[in-house]
Amino acid sequence: MSEIDFEKIGLKVGLEIHQQLNTNKKLFCKCRPIESDEYTEKFSRSLRTAKSELGKLDPAALFEKTKSKKINYYANSQSSCLVEKDEEPPHDLDHDAKKISLLISSMLESKIFSEIHVMRKTVIDGSNTSGFQRTMLVSQGGNLKVGEKNVGVQAVCLEEDAAKLLSNEQNETNYSLDRLGVPLVEIALDPVSTKPSEVKEIALTLGGLLRATRMVKRGIGSIRQDVNISVMNSGVVEVKGVQQLDQLEKIINYEAKRQHGLILIAEKLKTLSITITKEDVVDVTEIFKACDSKIIQKAQKLNAKIKAIRIRNFSGMFGFEPYPEIRLGKEIGQLVRFFGIGGVFHSDELPNYGINDSDVDKVRKHLELAGEDGFLIIAGEDPKLDYAIDSIIKRIQDATDGVPAETRAATQDGETIFLRPRPGASRMYPETDIPSISVTPQEMKLAMENIPPSLESQYQELEKKYHLNPELAKQLWDSPYLDSVIDVFRQDWFNMKSFEDAKKAANFIASKAVSLKSFEREGLDLSKIDGAWLSKTLGDLADHKIAKERFEQIFRAKISGEEEPGSPSKFRVPSEDELNKILDKIIQDNMDLPEVKEGGEHAVKKLMGIFMKEYRGTVDGKLVHDLLRKKVSEL
Ligand SMILES: [Zn+2]
C-alpha cells in the first residue's frame, strides 16, 4: 500500500509564499537589509508568554513557555538599530515596500484596501525581539493563472521578516538580527484539490510572477513556502519552512501518506476500547534501578524520574504501520523530543535498547496489564516530564480523531516533524505605535500601469533584442548585472560593429557577466562591484582593450581593493610602444643574471619567464618571444 491515490484520499493543499522584497531599507526603519556573519553585539532575553488583547493565552505560546529557553540575539550596527532591539518604536513604513506590495496585488488581480492597518502577530519562538511580528493586509481575493487552471488568491500581506535562526540548542536559541524587519510579501493561495507535482507547478508560476517585477530578492532564504495540507477534510497541518521546490513535492507526498496513515490508524482504534487518563501514570523509578538501558541509566544519574503509562487494549497500536514508517510510536517520539526529553519507549518495541524481558515483566506486573494492553516508559525531569506526559495522553486520546491540527517543520530529507500545536485564533491584535496607512487612488492606478510583462516574454525580448542564445538570455535576465551588460549594448561603438561581431561580442559579454556568480560561491564580496565600473570593464573586454584571460584577475583585484577603476593598468593590453618599453626595462633590470649574460635562447627564455609572471594573458606569447629575441641579439 505504498502508492497513494491523491484524489481518493481528498488531498488539499494551500500554499503560502513569503518573498523578501528588494528594497534599500527595512520595513519600519532605515537599516539596510544586508546579511552578514559579523556580529558586534550580543544580548539575551528570556521568552515571555504573550497575552493577546483578548486576554487569552495562546496555546502555542504556552507550549513554547514550557520549553523555557534563553534567547540570544546577535546584531551588527550596519543592519540593525534600536527598532530591531524593540527599544524604539517603529518608524514610517518604507515607501518602496508599499509600492511593490501594491504592484504584486495588482498582478494577482487582488482587491487592494484603501486603508492598511498594521497588526501584531504573536511570535512565540523568540524570532522577534518584541514577541510579535508586524503584518498588514494589503489586498484580498484574486487569481493566479497556472496553465489552464485558476488558483484563487486569499490575501496579500506586507510583513517584516523574522530574525535569522543561527542555532537551536537544548536550553538556548541563537538568532541574528540582520534579517529581522526585512520587508516581505506573504501571498496565501486557496487550498486546492491537487497532486504534489501540480503544487510545484503552482509555486513555480507564482515565483515567476514575483520575479517578473525585478523587485524581489533572489537566492537561498529569500523565498519560503509554508504549506497547509489536509486529507479527507481532517485537521489541517501547516508545514513551515520549505525552501526548495523539489523538497515541496516530496513533503506533500510524505504528509499525504502520514495523514492518511493516521486516519487508517484512527479507524482501527475506534474498533478497540482504548482508555487512558492521568490515573494510568505510575512512577516506576524504583523498578528501573538496575536496568541496563543507557538512556535510563543516564536519566537516573541526573536524578530524573521514570514513569510508565498504561493504555488499555493498545497492544500493537504503537507499531501498526499503514504506510512504511508511519506509526503512532514515531509521532509520540517526536512529540516528546520537543520537550527536550530523549527517552520514550513503547510496549511494541520492547524488549530492546537495553530494556530486557525481566524489566518488561516487572512493568506489566506493576501496571497490572493484560495481554492486549500497551504501555509507555518515559524518563525525564519535572516539570518537563509532566508536560510531556500530559501531551502524550492528549495525543493518544486524539488519535481516534485522525490527524491533529498542528504546525510541523520540513526536514532536509523531505519528511515533516512535529513543531508545535496550531496557534489559536487570538494571535493577531492591532499595532498601537503606527497609525493606519492610506492607499490613494493614484497609487492604485500607478500599480496597475506598472504591471510588467510575463517572465517568459521578458526572457524572449532580451534574447531577440541582443541576439543572445536562449539559455544565456535567461541566465543574464536573472543576473544582478543585467543593467551593466545592457549599458554596454547601448553604447555607440558597440552598435557600430557588424551584425556578426556584435552578436559574438554580446554573447561573450553576457556569459562573462553571468559567470560572476562563481565569485559569489567563493564567498567574495560582490557588493564592491558597482554598475558603472562593471559596464566599463565589460566594454573594454568587448573592445579588446582588456585581455579576456585577465578578466577573472581584474575582478579579484577589484574586490580586494587592489585596482582603481580607470587607472593605467597592468591588466590592459599594452600598445606596441608600451610593450617595447616594458621589455626594455625588464632587460635593464636583469642584465646581471647569468642566463642573460650568456645571451641567445637562454636569455630569451629567462626574460620571457619574468615578463609572463606579471603580464600573462595580456599579450600574444609569440610576439613577445620574437621581440625579445631581436632585443637580445642586439645587445
Ligand atoms: Zn533598524
What is residue 566's predicted lDDT score, i.e. its pLDDT? 44
From ligand 1's centre to the CA of 107, what distance in Å? 30
pLDDT tens digits along 213-261 = 999 998 778 899 999 999 998 889 999 988 888 899 999 999 999 999 9
Taking 90 as the threshold, does the pLDDT of residue 400 lie above it? Answer: yes
Helix or strand or coil: residue 254?
A: helix
Q: Is the dihedral of CA 606, 610, 611, 615 positive or negative?
A: positive
From ligand 1's centre to the CA of 2, what distance in Å? 51
> Please, which pLDDT band fits residue 145 given cuts at 50, 70 and 90?
very high
From ligand 1's centre to the CA of 427, what distance in Å? 25
Taking 90 as the threshold, does the pLDDT of residue 139 lie above it? Answer: yes
pLDDT tens digits along 51-98 = 443 344 445 555 555 556 789 999 998 899 999 999 999 999 999 999
Region at 267 (left for phi over 0; alpha for psi -120 to 50; beta for the rest): alpha
Helix (H) or strand (E) holding 146: strand 143-146
What is residue 323's predicted lDDT score, i.e. its pLDDT? 94
Residues 6+ apart with CB under 8 A from 611: 582, 583, 586, 624, 628
From ligand 1's centre to the CA of 327, what distance in Å? 47
Q: What's the rounded mean pLDDT across residues 42-52?
A: 69
From ligand 1's centre to the CA of 355, what distance in Å? 55
From ligand 1's centre to the CA of 83, what distance in Å? 5
> pTM value?
0.80
What is residue 48's predicted lDDT score, i.e. its pLDDT? 56
Look at residues 412, 426, 423, 306 and name the one whose alpha carbon lies nearest to residue 355: 306
From ligand 1's centre to the CA of 417, what distance in Å? 34
From ligand 1's centre to the CA of 27, what distance in Å? 9
Task: Give 521-528 contacts, CB < 8 A, sequence gap 24+.
Answer: 524/556, 524/559, 525/559, 526/480, 526/559, 527/34, 528/558, 528/559, 528/561
Q: Is the dihedral of CA 225, 226, 231, 233 positive or negative?
A: negative
From ligand 1's centre to the CA of 530, what distance in Å? 25
What is residue 218's predicted lDDT score, i.e. its pLDDT? 85
From ligand 1's centre to the CA of 208, what distance in Å? 30
Taking 90 as the threshold, does the pLDDT of residue 124 lie above it? Answer: no
Task: Please identify which residue in the block is written with the cell numbers 486516519.
Answer: 263
pLDDT tens digits along 272-318 = 988 899 999 999 999 988 888 888 888 888 888 999 999 999 999 99
Distance CA(304)–CA(162), nearest Å, equals: 36
From ligand 1's centre to the CA of 130, what distance in Å? 13
> Please, which pLDDT band fits residue 621 given cuts at 50, 70 and 90?
confident
From ligand 1's centre to the CA of 35, what distance in Å? 13
From ligand 1's centre to the CA of 26, what distance in Å? 7
From ligand 1's centre to the CA of 82, what distance in Å? 6
Distance CA(513)–CA(520), nearest Å, equals: 12
From ligand 1's centre to the CA of 480, what distance in Å? 25
pLDDT tens digits along 486-509 = 999 999 988 888 999 999 999 999
Rounded to 5°, the CA angle 296-297-299 comes to 65
Taking 50 as the threshold, does the pLDDT of residue 50 lie above it? Answer: no
The pLDDT mean for the chain works out to: 88
From ligand 1's centre to the CA of 430, what distance in Å? 21
What is residue 424's predicted lDDT score, i.e. its pLDDT? 61
From ligand 1's centre to the CA of 77, what distance in Å? 8
From ligand 1's centre to the CA of 70, what distance in Å? 23
Contact 583, 628 (CB under 8 A): yes
Distance CA(140)–CA(137), nearest Å, equals: 8
From ligand 1's centre to the CA of 178, what distance in Å? 9
From ligand 1's centre to the CA of 382, what distance in Å? 40
From ligand 1's centre to the CA of 33, what distance in Å? 9
From ligand 1's centre to the CA of 25, what distance in Å? 9
From ligand 1's centre to the CA of 181, what distance in Å? 8
> Please, which pLDDT band fits residue 540 given cuts at 50, 70 and 90?
confident
Helix or strand or coil: residue 282?
A: strand
From ligand 1's centre to the CA of 100, what distance in Å? 20
From ligand 1's centre to the CA of 531, what distance in Å? 26
Q: What's the rounded mean pLDDT across residues 30-39?
A: 88
What is residue 55's predicted lDDT score, i.e. its pLDDT? 42
From ligand 1's centre to the CA of 24, what distance in Å? 12
From ligand 1's centre to the CA of 483, what distance in Å? 29
From ligand 1's centre to the CA of 91, what distance in Å? 9
Q: What's the rounded mean pLDDT across residues 161-171?
A: 89
From ligand 1's centre to the CA of 241, what distance in Å? 25
What is residue 299's predicted lDDT score, i.e. its pLDDT? 85
pLDDT tens digits along 505-528 = 999 999 999 988 888 788 787 877
From ligand 1's centre to the CA of 372, what distance in Å? 61
From ligand 1's centre to the CA of 79, what distance in Å? 7
From ligand 1's centre to the CA of 31, what distance in Å? 4
From ligand 1's centre to the CA of 10, what distance in Å? 46
Give the strand pairing for 406-410 and 237-242.
parallel
What is residue 519's predicted lDDT score, i.e. its pLDDT? 83
From ligand 1's centre to the CA of 443, what distance in Å? 26
